[in-house]
Structure 1
């Protein structure tokens, strides 16, 4: 069952558990149905790719999806991991960093 994710494409995140713990990157793809995201430069895997008319064949490295519970958003003010909250500013619902209260969107 898909749940609402508090991260979006383009957000800066840090990996908090696993093989790539401590690495930071930008979210390049969000898969809400699977609760997974792809982060640039994190969870790199090697794939054997067949040659086609457009692409070169061989072994390529690309990002694999990582579970959303293994990442944390980076606070724009302190550059440390933080949780994300929502609040209303007038008629708009905006995300903010819980640690510093800084607006994210």
Structure 2
């Protein structure tokens, strides 16, 4: 999955279309992402004794990863993610950098 935690994304479809937020959690097996403050639903909770009162609680549900697009930190536009391989001489290992497809900046 090309999206990572703390990436800024914009929602492409659904009730929160056009809104931006930061990814709190990535669920790669389900291909979903949890975005802070978006895709909120109301859940009715029963009281759990004296420690937790009942009522209506808003919880965030995960969105499909195909319904969000990454926002480039440099150009500020929604973009696709590409990869560039950089060679490191010290250990002779290659490192993969995520790049913006529009402005070629590292993400």
> TM-score scaled to structure 1, two decimals?
0.87
Q: Distance in 2 between matches of 1:15 and 1:84?
A: 16
Structure 2 residues without counterparts, runs of 5 or longer: 88-93
1:40-96 Cα deviation digits (max 9, x unpaired):
111110111233365442111121111101000001112110000111112211111
1:17 aligns with 2:18: no
**How many equivalent pairs are there?**
100
| Structure 1 partner of 2:2 | 6
Q: Distance in 1 between matches of 2:51 and 2:29?
A: 31
Structure 1 residues without counterparts, runs of 5 or longer: none
> TM-score scaled to structure 2, two decimals?
0.86
SS in 1 for 2:57: strand
SS in 1 for 2:59: strand
| Structure 2 partner of 1:33 | 29
1:94 aligns with 2:97: yes
Structure possessing the higher radius of gyration over alpha carbons: 2
Q: Distance in 1 between matches of 2:20 and 2:99?
A: 19
| Structure 1 partner of 2:66 | 69
